[in-house]
Amino acid sequence: MDLGDKRTMEFHVTAREIAEDIARELNGDSGEGSFHGVFVAAGLEPTEAELADARHRLEEFNRKLVASADLEWERTKNPMFITDLERRAARQLSLDKPWLYDPKPMSECPVCAEAIKPDVAVCKSCHAILDREKAAQYGLVAPAAQERPRRDNPSSRPDSTPKQDGAGK
């Protein structure tokens, strides 16, 4: 260690002390009593008892976080006040909470490439029909069996017959 006046003093720090300091810093990052599962094993590899103790402490900490989130939810009913750490705790405990929402991944419209929700019937940007059956179910398009023929296709008109000109062939 540099004492600042061109003198140095040797200061030995073991790898274990460094590891314990890192574990203490990581686990204490979320307040008193927090535990994120980081620990230093007594030997070269953690024993089953050490792992079981770490799992138990982590589960206990996660339950405290979920209880805190439940209280906040009851008070505000606003998911913005629930922290990411509390959401992660609920996921790790496999809990289904009203404040735990997972945004669904967006897909891309095949016509205009706009980001859309998965399984939509009609693109909100270009109005392309992406699921005709679902669109018909909600009255956005006519059902497939009742569709009228298009006007620009003369062969699809019921009274259309090929006309021959009078010149003959």
77-130: per-residue pLDDT in tens?
998 999 999 999 999 999 999 998 766 788 899 999 999 988 899 998 999 999
Which pair of tokens denotes residue 74?
């009851």
Residue 69 near residue 82 (C-beta atoms within 8 A): yes
* Predicted TM-score (pTM) of this structure: 0.56
Which of 138, 137, 141 is CA-nearest to residue 129?
141
Kindly state the greatest CA–CA separation across the chain.
Answer: 116
Residue 16 near residue 43 (C-beta atoms within 8 A): no
CA-only gyration radius of the chain, Å: 33
CA of 61: how far to CAs of 33, 54, 159, in Å? 8, 10, 77
